[in-house]
Amino acid sequence: MNSSTLNTEYFKLVSTLNKDFEEILIENEVHFRASLNSFSLISLSKKRPELGIKCNYKSYNLTNDLKSLILADIKKINDKKNGRLTPEKELQSWIIKYALNNKGRLPFNEEIHFITSELAIMNKEGKKIVNDILGYNKKTNQLCIIELKSDRLLTRLIEQVDNFEQIILENTTFFNELLFLNDIKFSNSFSIIKIVVWPYNKTSPKKELKKVGIVEYTYEPYYTFKQHS
Phi, psi of 8 (to 5 degrees): -100, 10
Instruction: Write down the pLDDT at residue 192.
Output: 96
Question: Per residue in 183-207, pLDDT tens?
Answer: 887 767 889 999 999 988 887 778 8
- Choose among 194, 175, 53: nearest CA to 119: 175
96 CB-near residues (< 8 Å, 6+ apart) = 31, 44, 114, 117, 133
pTM: 0.92
Q: Cα(77)–Cα(55) distance, rounded to whole angstroms? A: 11
Contact 83, 93 (CB under 8 A): no
Q: What is the domain partition of the chain in residue ranges?
A: 3-79, 87-228
With b for 16 or more beta-carbon neighbours within 10 A and e for fewer, the 191-215 pattern comes to: eebbbbbbebeeeeebeebeeeebb
Phi, psi of 89 (to 5 degrees): -65, -45
Instruction: Write down the pLDDT at residue 203.
Output: 78
Q: Cα(106)–Cα(222) distance, rounded to whole angstroms? A: 15
Whole-Å CA distances, 25 to 4, 53, 54, 107, 116: 32, 14, 16, 19, 16
Please give the CATH number for the structural domain made up of 87-228: 3.40.1350
- Mean pLDDT over 10-31 rounds to 97
